[in-house]
């Protein structure tokens, strides 16, 4: 067994629509965008992660950038497998001799179907996973935030990722009510692209829309310390001449209104299905926000005002899920809620 455990590498993976993060030996060793660039002639992977993201929207006919995950689930099987394999290689790129057997814990959306779970398992096994365990994202987020998920009390987590928003009430190590909606970071980015095209007659790509969201993305049209306007450059749609447009956070709050309302409705719907004893716990403790969407300016205040329960932003919300997955990896034998 001694030699065998030496040959086994243990890793925790947060396989996200937007970013993939890997923990090994309690340290975050990989934190890269979930994107690969593939040479269409040879079907070989040319770049992965940040390198591939820089190519996004700038490729020629023989090169294609692919985001293997859509809405939190694997959309392109081959690309997903190559991405997982490539990211695992990043952990210790120097070891050429042999690749150790891998024991992995991977998190998946709580609304995943059997087929989607199977896709993640197959991709992970093809990429070298010998023992593959899975954990539902909201559970991982709750553990990463530091909540006691096994206690007989209600904890509510809203994890707004790139592809899905996961809303769950957790008690006694299991999910009591959950709502997984496919409205999340990617939809907000798409809303911004659409808005810039309609309102300002300017064409922008996904990366620019993402930048706008990070700099001036807001859930409220009145913020206490408003960010500076963000200047966007691009072609005018009618004339193709270059134009510059300053974008304010009020405009973005207005253009994201519809999608944020849908997230609000989903939170209310999950609360509606919550048993009264757990509901009382949630009202007294508040609701936790995790995932990249939690960084949207004013979102916690907007939800608190709308729903009447305090919302707290997890510290380092982007990494709450992977931290929880890392803790689950250490307690694989004790946690009964891991899917084998």
Q: What is the mean predicted confidence (pLDDT) over 124-139?
A: 91
pLDDT at 5: 55
Interval 153-183: pLDDT, tens: 999 999 999 999 999 999 998 999 999 999 9
Whether residue 4 has pLDDT greater than 80? no
Name the band, by pLDDT with cuts 50, 70 and 90, for residue 233: very high
pLDDT at 313: 97
Interval 314-328: pLDDT, tens: 999 999 999 999 999
Separation CA 138–CA 337 (nearest Å):
12
Give per-residue burial for 216-245: e unless 16+ CB within 10 Å, then b: bbbbbbebeebeeebebebeeeeeeeeeeb
Q: What is the mean predicted confidence (pLDDT) over 198-216?
A: 94
Q: What is the CATH number of the domain that holds 176?
A: 3.30.420.40
In a domain, 311, yes or no: yes
Note whether 192 and 172 are same-domain residues. Answer: no
Note whether 90 and 202 are same-domain residues. Answer: no
Note whether 17 and 136 are same-domain residues. Answer: yes
In a domain, 240, yes or no: yes
Interval 285-320: pLDDT, tens: 999 999 999 999 999 999 999 999 999 999 999 999
Note whether 17 and 83 are same-domain residues. Answer: yes
pLDDT, greater one: 244 or 9: 244
Note whether 136 and 233 are same-domain residues. Answer: no
DSSP E strands in 172-310: the ranges are: 174-181, 230-235, 242-247, 287-290
Whether residue 3 has pLDDT greater than 60? no
Q: What is the CATH number of the domain that holds 238?
A: 3.90.640.10
In a domain, 62, yes or no: no
pLDDT at 2: 47
Structure-token match 């999910």, residue found: 175
Separation CA 281–CA 198 (nearest Å):
45
Note whether 289 and 303 are same-domain residues. Answer: yes
In a domain, 37, yes or no: no
Separation CA 31–CA 23 (nearest Å):
9
In a domain, 40, yes or no: no
In a domain, 115, yes or no: yes
Task: Report CA dihedral (19, 24, 25, 27) to the nearest 10 degrees.
Answer: -20
Note whether 194 and 249 are same-domain residues. Answer: yes
Classified as helix, coil or strand, 109 is coil
Interval 9-20: pLDDT, tens: 899 999 999 999
Note whether 90 and 103 are same-domain residues. Answer: yes
Note whether 246 and 117 are same-domain residues. Answer: no
Whether residue 96 has pLDDT greater than 80? no
Note whether 201 and 241 are same-domain residues. Answer: yes
Note whether 287 and 228 are same-domain residues. Answer: no
pLDDT at 255: 96
pLDDT at 326: 94
Name the band, by pLDDT with cuts 50, 70 and 90, for residue 1: very low
In a domain, 90, yes or no: yes
Interval 21-69: pLDDT, tens: 999 989 999 999 999 999 999 989 999 999 999 998 888 999 999 999 9
Note whether 114 and 7 are same-domain residues. Answer: yes
Q: What range defines the domain where residue 157 resides?
A: 153-183+260-315
Number of folded domains that form the chain: 3
This prediction's pTM: 0.90
Q: What is the mean predicted confidence (pLDDT) over 186-210?
A: 94
Interval 252-278: pLDDT, tens: 999 999 999 999 999 999 999 999 999
Average pLDDT, the chain: 91
CA distances to 44, 86, 165 from 128, in Å: 18, 11, 29
Whether residue 141 has pLDDT greater than 50? yes
Whether residue 92 has pLDDT greater than 80? no
């Amino acid at each position: 067994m001694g030699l065998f455990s030496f040959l086994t590498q243990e890793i925790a993976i947060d396989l996200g629509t937007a970013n993939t993060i890997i923990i090994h030996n309690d340290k975050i060793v990989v934190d890269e965008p979930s994107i690969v660039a593939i040479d269409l002639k040879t079907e070989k992977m040319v770049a992965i992660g940040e390198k591939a993201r820089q190519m996004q929207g700038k490729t020629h006919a023989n090169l294609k950038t692919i985001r293997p995950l859509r809405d939190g689930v694997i959309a392109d099987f081959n690309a997903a497998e190559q991405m997982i394999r490539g990211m695992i290689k990043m952990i210790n790129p120097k070891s050429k001799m042999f690749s150790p057997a891998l024991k992995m814990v991977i998190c998946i959306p709580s609304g995943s179907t059997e087929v989607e779970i199977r896709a993640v398992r197959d991709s992970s096994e093809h990429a070298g996973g010998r023992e593959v365990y899975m954990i539902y994202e909201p559970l991982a987020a709750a553990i990463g935030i530091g909540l006691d998920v096994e206690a007989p009390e209600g904890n509510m987590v809203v994890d707004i990722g790139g592809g899905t928003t996961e809303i769950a009430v957790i008690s006694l190590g299991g999910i009591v009510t959950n709502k997984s909606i496919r409205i999340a970071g990617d939809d907000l980015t798409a809303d911004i692209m659409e808005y810039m095209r309609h309102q300002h007659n300017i064409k922008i790509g996904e990366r620019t829309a993402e930048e706008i969201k990070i700099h001036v993305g807001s859930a409220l049209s009145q913020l206490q310390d408003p960010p500076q306007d963000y200047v966007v450059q691009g072609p005018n749609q009618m004339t193709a001449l270059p134009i510059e447009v300053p974008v304010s956070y009020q405009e973005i709050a207005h253009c994201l209104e519809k999608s944020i309302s849908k997230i609000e409705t989903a939170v209310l719907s999950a609360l509606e299905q919550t048993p009264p004893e757990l509901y009382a716990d949630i009202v007294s403790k508040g609701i936790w926000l995790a995932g990249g969407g939690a960084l949207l300016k004013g979102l916690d205040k907007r939800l608190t005002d709308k729903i009447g329960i305090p919302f707290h932003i997890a510290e380092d919300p982007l990494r709450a899920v992977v931290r929880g997955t890392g803790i689950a990896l250490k307690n694989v034998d004790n946690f009964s809620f891991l899917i084998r």
